[in-house]
Amino acid sequence: MMAMSDPSVEAQRFFAARYGIDSARISSLLADALAQGGDFAELFFEHRTNGAISLEDQQIKSAARSVEQGLGIRVVKGESIGYAYTESLDPEAMRLAAGTAARIGDGGERPAAIDATPRGAGESYYGEEALLSDEPAAAKVALLERADRAARAYDASIARVDASIADERKIVLVARSDGQVIGDVQPLMRFNVMALSQRGESRQTARTGGGGRLGVEYFERITPEDTAREAARQAVLLQDAVDAPAGEVPVVLAAGDSGILLHEAIGHGLEADFNRKGTSNYTGRIGQPVASELVTVIDDATIAESRGSINVDDEGNPTKRNTLIEGGVLRGYLHDEISARHFGTAPTGSGRRQSFRHPIMPRMSNTLMLPGPSTPGEVIGSVERGIYCAAFSGGQVNISNGDFVFSTTEAYLIEQGRITAPLRTTNLIGNGPEALSRVSMVANDYVLSDGRWTCGKEGQSVPVGVGLPTVLVSAMTVGGTRLG
Amino acid sequence: MAEAAPLERARQAVALATGLGGEQCDAFAVAHTEATVSVRLGEIEKLIEASSQTLGLRVIAGGRTAVCSTSDFSPAVFERFVADTVELARISAPDEYAGLPERELLATGGAGALQLYDERIESLALEERIEMARTCEAAALAFDPRITNSEGASVSTHAGEVALANSEGFAASYPATSISLATEALADDTDGKKRNAWWFSAERSLRGLMDPETVGRIAAQRAIDQLGARKAETRRAPVIFEPMMAARLAGDVASCATGGALYRGATFLAGRAGERVGSPLVTIVDDPTEPARAGSRPFDGEGVAARRTAIFHEGRFEGFLFDCYTARRAGSRTTGSAQRGVASLPEPGPANLIFQPGSTPAEEIVADTREGLLVTALMGFGFNPTTGDYSRGVAGFWIENGAIAYPVAEANISGDAATMLASIDAVGSDLTWFGSAAAPTVRLAEMTVSGV
């Protein structure tokens, strides 16, 4: 294994060598940004390369590659922001953007020259043995073909397999008017498989995938065959699925991806921008019980190689493990610089953005619930009649009232404490604080999701992770079609 | 220094790629400026301004396809980008269906009659936009003392040029503008919950935009209307979709009526073209030639002339929306429905999706419903296009004896798309546009409503 350089230093060298962005240029741009009396300014340089190859029905359908670079400039005045971006990193275009963002200021005095001193990164949470973006195309094609063969071999009914492999390498440099300059080089990879099962006229599809902030070593842990067989298994399972019940029943959430419940039921509501504005149903509730005593929720951007992890956030702050709920009591929010200043607290390293085109917001990273005392068998065994949810297609929440939904793609009936018939795809609906107060059992089998989740907020997408042990929610509304 | 126009860049990319062995290529280029102002509680929250230029190049050589995008147009980088794209195409397998549109399908007319551009949007001053947002939010806050907070109001404008050139000699571009105005109002409910509602207007021209005060008042009214919301009782009942929600239902159905879903086997409509699927009240069309709408365009993402396509006519499923690739796979012809982003291959989809209105006033549909659920908000991703299984979170109103009885929240409706389309027993006359979609009030005779 090759010794890796400090990603912050690597990013600084990259932008200096390719675009001439050095300390003098940074200081001059920050001065332009504050020239009209802003309180704080920040430059976010980004260079991103994305590659993707897709296999459809045993053919490599296409290969794609995109390169994007640009600079986003934010000027803060009180709690207002001016924002401008440019895709061109030539000095004139950058100065123009700084002038545009500066307009949020109140015309106050030009500040003194800013000393922009780069610093190194701390720990790196990325696995970087061999980046997928550096792999030859033929190697990626081979991974896709392995997935195709494995899914077809799983069951004779598998009539079609689509698979794709995607990689990203994002180099960022954050320079702030308080003198901090820090960079990062963020790898991200993803492998997806869709399988179609056909029995007579009945067609069922299922898709799954995974990845994270690491390289090809991912495939040593989870092989293309593992992912492909999982997609095929779910598609075949749906062939025998029965109608889901309608109405309130006990719901057991399997360990892992069910963490989407936390993401929707409480995670978004604890993003401090909503609380700063008083628009979240968790506003003003720090120190109060908001969940069952069994519930401890963490947002942790430092989990090695997880899709939601980052070394530094997009405001240049180091990331960390933040406790949101401890034993059912609300402990804190997720902050960016603006909300932290509003609440008189420290930033939590949660300032994120989709790209240089987008302003910062507080966002989740990897949101998870700590394990509890029960065994998964005890949790399932305790349910007379309910449902067991194992895989999901997505979720959504209304921040203001806490009502949330998530949609299952793999779920089963529980009858007399045993998992029985698979259920057709259905939706679950609940209210955040209510659902978390109904968490009546938590098992000892915590699992982090494989890297497949993307979170959308106000039109901005960022990669995230979720994690959960097996959990019983004593009652939730299941949106099936079977009454009684 | 004057920047090269997108059309010039697209032509240049095609010429370079052809010279390097790209047998068939097309380039899609977009240049635009965007500006957003957000105001919250009367104060400016965000000012965003930027301009952007991107280009996507598709190369097909020996049936092998690659697509790449860039925003770096310095000559050396741009030439390398084109060469890399041609090189990348070697990875994929030869595909007999890959290829540009046949020459006779390419658009020849301009965008003039479509009214896609309004110079007033480009010249709208920052102060004017701030004033519009302030007026909108203020109208929401002043609407009722129970409106206690606001997520703010924002005005966004876009102005730009869309260009497409291909190696068959097609080269065309058109200017386009858009403006949107949105606000979200919050009211405090007695149970400690907040009730929120938003409203918006999105148009190609300033003239078409809804008056800011009206947008604010509608948002406020909708938040107030949800005060006291309760859970619904689990049962089967008629479900009425108000126009914005009916447009989403049409969108779910249309996503299953594309050539992409067809060849991937991922649609409940596979093999049903020409069959009656919906009730005779169901007529859904895609029409990119509607003047001044968000999805209107003179040609699609491959240069094929835009035209109106019927998806459902009086309940009969007329067929799929195709681009060239998916049409060839299905042994059919493109419907000019290629959607194109700079970084991806064309995919067929609706441009302006219209659920055609009926003749019944919306109020009569409610008055004619003894008991049922009126849906005003939908949540989640609970739709399986392959099977048509539909299960979504909803909020709205419970109807008793033809009148609204109380607001409902945290409920769910479920069914399957084919049965849902067949069970439509009332379609309103109140066709309403929302950006690139339009629908009237629509009633389904029965769905499963889940609650307590």
pLDDT single digits (tens) B117-126: 999 999 999 9
**pTM assigned to the model:** 0.95
CB within 8 Å: A405 and B412: yes
Residue among A280, A265, A459 nearest A369 (CA): A265
Instruction: Kindly give, in sequence order, each residue whose CB lies less than 8 Å from that of residue A284, ignoring residues fewer than 6 positions away.
Output: A275, A278
Chain A residue with Cα closest to B73:
A88
For residue A437, what are its two tokens? 């107060």
Least confident piece of the model among A170-174, B212-216, B310-314, B381-385: B381-385
Per the CB < 8 Å rule, is A247 touching B47?
Answer: no
- Cα separation, A418 vs A422, in Å, equals 12
- Output the average pLDDT for chain A: 94
Contacts of B384 in chain A (CB under 8 A): 205, 424-425
* pLDDT above 80 (res A128): no
Instruction: Tell me: pLDDT of A268 over 50.
Output: yes
Six token digits for residue A323: 């406790």
User: Residue A106 — very low, low, confident or very high, per pLDDT cuts 50/70/90?
Assistant: confident
- Which residues are within 8 A (CB) of B278 and not within 5 positions of it... i.e. 6 or more apart? B312, B315, B316, B317, B421, B422, B424
As a whole-number percent, the residues of chain B with pLDDT over 90 amount to 95
* Binary contact (B65, A68; C-beta < 8 A): no
**CB-based contacts of B24, cutoff 8 Å, min separation 6:** B59, B60, B61, B99, B100, B166, B167, B168
Phi-psi group of A446: left, alpha or beta (phi > 0 → left; psi -120 to 50 → alpha; rest → beta): beta
Q: Write out pLDDT tens, residues B18-48.
A: 999 999 999 999 999 999 999 999 999 999 9
Cβ B391–A244 below 8 Å, yes or no? yes
Q: Please, which pLDDT band fits residue B3 given cuts at 50, 70 and 90?
A: low
Q: Find tokens 């030859």 and name the residue.
A: A136
Q: How confident is the model at residue A105 (pLDDT cuts 50, 70, 90)?
A: confident
Nearest Cα residue to A423 out of A239, A250, A228, A281: A239
Residue of B nearest to A80 (CA): B45
Q: CA torsion angle for B76, B79, B80, B84 (degrees, to 10)?
A: 170
Interface predicted TM-score (ipTM) of this complex, two decimals: 0.93
How many angstroms separate the CA of residue A122 from the nearest CA in chain B? 32
Enter the tokens of residue A57: 């029905």
CB pair distance less than 8 Å for B48 and A359: yes
**Residue of A365, A363, A388 lying closest to A441 (CA atoms):** A388
Task: Say which amino acid occupies B67.
Answer: V
Q: Mean pLDDT across the stretch B123-130?
A: 95
SS3 of B372, please?
Answer: strand
Cross-chain residue pair A87–B72, CB shorter than 8 Å: yes
| Best to test chain A binding among B60, B84, B92 (most A CBs inside 10 Å) | B92
Beta bridge partners of A472: A252, A441
Q: Which of B90-94, B137-141, B383-387 has the lowest mean pLDDT?
A: B90-94
CB B186 within 8 A of CB A281: no
pLDDT band at A111 (very low <50, low <70, confident <90, very high): low
Distance CA A339, CA B449 (A): 40
What is residue A265's DSSP assignment?
I
Instruction: Label residue B1 by pLDDT band (50, 70, 90).
Output: very low
Compute the nearest-CA separation of B312 from chain A (Å).
Answer: 22
Backbone angles phi, psi at B341, to 5 degrees: -110, 165
Q: pLDDT value at position A10?
A: 92
> Mean pLDDT score of chain B, rounded to an integer?
95
Residue pLDDT, tens place only, A345-392: 999 999 999 999 999 999 999 999 999 999 999 999 999 999 999 999
Share of chain A above pLDDT 70, in %: 96
Four-point Cα dihedral A265, A270, A271, A274, nearest 10:
100
Q: Do A64 and B71 touch (CB under 8 A)?
A: no
* Beta carbons of A479 and B414 less than 8 Å apart: yes
Residue B58's nearest CA partner among A58, A135, A168, A65 is A65
| Amino acid in position A174 | V
Does the distance separating the beta carbons of B393 and A68 come in below 8 Å?
A: no
Mean of the pLDDT values across residues B251-267? 97
- What is the token pair recorded at A482? 């079977």
Closest CB to A60: pick one of B91, B266, B380. Answer: B91
- Chain A contact set for B451 (CB, 8 A): 247-248, 477
Give the one of B194, B344, B448 whose C-beta lies nearest to A281's C-beta: B194
Closest C-alpha among B214, B319, B281 to residue B440:
B281
As a whole number of angstroms, the distance between CA B327 and CA B260 comes to: 9
pLDDT of residue A122: 72
Q: Please, which pLDDT band fits residue B113 given cuts at 50, 70 and 90?
A: confident
Q: Which residues in chain B have their CB less than 8 angstroms from residue A480's CB?
A: 391, 414, 448, 450
Q: Residue type for B96, please?
A: E
Residue A428 has pLDDT above 80, yes or no: yes
- Which residues between 101 and 130 in chain B have a beta carbon less than 8 angstroms from any beta carbon of chain A? 126
Which of B43, B270, B382 is nearest residue A479 as measured by Cβ atoms? B382
Number of A–B residue contacts, CB under 8 Å: 248
Where does the pLDDT of residue A107 fall: very low under 50, low under 70, confident under 90, or very high at 90 and above? confident
CB A356 within 8 A of CB A85: yes
Confidence of residue A110 (pLDDT cuts 50, 70, 90): low
d(CA B209, CA B193): 32
- The CA distance from B61 to A62, in Å, is 12
From the list B47, B149, B231, which residue is nearest A103 (CB)? B47
Mean pLDDT of B434-444: 97
B2 pLDDT band, cuts 50/70/90, is very low
Q: B71 and A69 in contact by Cβ < 8 A?
A: yes
Please report which confidence band the pLDDT of residue A131 belongs to, taking 50, 70 and 90 as the band edges. confident
Note whether B450 contacts A86, CB cutoff 8 Å. Answer: no
Question: What chain B residue is nearest to A407 in terms of C-alpha separation?
Answer: B382
Q: List pLDDT tens digits, range A57-91.
A: 999 998 999 999 999 999 999 889 999 999 999 99
Q: What percent of chain A has pLDDT over 90?
A: 89
B residues 35..54 contacting A (CB < 8 A): 40, 43-54
Contact flag B270-A203 (C-beta cutoff 8 Å): yes
Q: Do A64 and B236 touch (CB under 8 A)?
A: no
Residue A1 has pLDDT above 50, yes or no: no
pLDDT band at B190; cut points 50, 70, 90:
confident
| Contacts with A133 from chain B: Cβ below 8 Å | none
Per the structure block, which two tokens stand in for B91?
Answer: 């990875």
pLDDT tens, position by position, B319-370: 999 999 999 999 999 999 999 999 899 999 999 999 999 999 999 999 999 9
Taking each helix axis as running N to C, give the angle between helix B212-225 and helix B126-142, from 0 to 180 degrees, rounded to the nearest 10: 30
Closest Cβ–Cβ partner in A67, A425, A426 for B72: A67
Each residue's pLDDT tens digit, A292-306: 999 999 999 999 999
